Homo-oligomer: A and B are copies of this chain.
Amino acid sequence: MPSPEFFQVLPVSDALKLLDAHWQPQPETESIAAADALDRTLAANIHSPEELPAFRKSTVDGYALRAADTFGASQSLPAFLQVNGELKMGEAPRLSVRAGEALLIHTGGMLPGGADAVVMVEYVQVAGANEIEVLRAVAPGENVIQAGEDVAANSLVLPRGKRLRPQDIGGLLAVGIDRIAVLRSPRVGILSCGDELLPPEAELVPGKVRDINAYTLSALAEKHGAQPIRFGIASDNFADYQRRAAAGFAACDILLLSAGSSVSARDYTRDVIKGLGQPGILQHGLATKPGKPTIIALCDNKPVIGLPGNPVSALLVARQLLPSMIARYLGQALELPRMVRARLSQRVASAAGREDWLAVRLEQDADGELLAQPIFGKSNLIFTLVSADGLLRLPLNTGGFDSGSLVDIVLF
């Protein structure tokens, strides 16, 4: 005779804090090419081995000169300078600039010795074969980037834990760092359990369903920068479940157990987790719907999450937990979800004491305003989520939202 499950629920954020208080992630480090490091996390502070730029550069097309030679110059009283040649891009200048002289220089070109400023071509008139008139004064340093102005040698340019963006990769390569140590992405292991489950490629027979949790959870892990590893399907037989969970646990950094639908399978998940290590189960039951019967555990410093077997619940609760755990593992701030503001098409109610997540469809009305239409229906229909554009969160202690409210929709 199955017994109903009773447990003291905790808000998701409190359950995550509880996990964080016990968990000390110890990610491994690997060396990769900086060019391949998009979205990877730096394992150590990076100091610049050199200054950037390595030499004084012009920021404009113009003439390198001594600023003092232009002091007082104007349209009506130009400064005359002798032009001794053109500086070629990509070469150290062989010429230098003396008083009364100038050299033609291009944007990015290296400043010649003697020059301390560049006047833009727009403020110059060519007066003869080797002579220009400078029509306004330039200040020392004008239109020049000093050596080391972008980055000084030995300065900290990127901190440990930084998740690398395109510009960060550019910054690393600019100072000659082409290999870096990054944190190995966490391996998120996924084991599904249930006698009713078949792999998706198998022929369906009456009473069986395809295991999709292993794949939705893999995709979720991948989306958030982790490496998913699928450990297949355990039967509702306790010994089989335990053996597969222990083998998977050893081969990953975070283990997700997608429990079977039957009560015995759900009970087994508790017992399986207890056998994986200390301290074991930290919390059973979250103040969220769907996802209430979720188990949060830490076994020998490795998080283990017992998820409901229902595909909608499993995915919606995993998206509240897994991104935060991956970020914690890598020592990063949690990436903000993409959100839009929309007007709610109808009243939605919520029970106090839990957070509800409701699938919504977004449509633009005639005025271009976004309208959020809740998708009601039985909570375990995966196509509710497939047809949804996003999720509306009903916070812990709201009764719901009125029709016409402006609400934030998490795009998911």
Give the CA-CA distance A209 to B265 in the complex, in Å. 62
A166-B219, A378-B149 known; A173+B210 contact, CB < 8 A: yes
Determine the residue in chain B with the shortest Cβ distance to A91.
B207
Count of this chain's copies in the oligomeric assembly:
2
Q: What is the distance, in angstroms, from A325's C-beta to the closest C-beta of chain B?
A: 16
A165-B412, A216-B169 known; A386+B158 contact, CB < 8 A: yes
Of A73-81, A242-250, A273-281, A332-340, the one contacting chain B is: A332-340
CB of A196 within 8 A of CB of B38, answer no
Q: What is the total number of residues of chain A having a CB less than 8 Å from a CB of chain B?
A: 93
**Secondary structure dominating the interface of A:** loop
| A107 interface hit (Cβ, 8 Å) | yes
Q: What is the distance, in angstroms, from A237's C-beta to the closest C-beta of chain B?
A: 11
Give the CA-CA distance A50 to B200 in the complex, in Å. 13
B residues near A1, Cβ cutoff 8 Å: 121, 126
Determine the residue in chain B with the shortest Cβ distance to A106.
B262
A261-B108, A336-B411, A386-B168 known; A90+B196 contact, CB < 8 A: yes
| A98 interface hit (Cβ, 8 Å) | no
CB of A382 within 8 A of CB of B90, answer no
Q: Which 10 A-B pairs have the closest CB atoms?
A: A108-B261, A92-B206, A166-B219, A90-B196, A167-B385, A90-B195, A106-B262, A170-B216, A171-B386, A173-B200
Extra A-B contacts (19), CB below 8 Å, given A4-B122, A89-B260: A1-B126, A35-B215, A59-B380, A88-B195, A89-B194, A89-B262, A90-B195, A106-B261, A107-B263, A108-B262, A109-B207, A145-B380, A151-B383, A166-B215, A167-B315, A170-B219, A170-B315, A171-B385, A173-B212
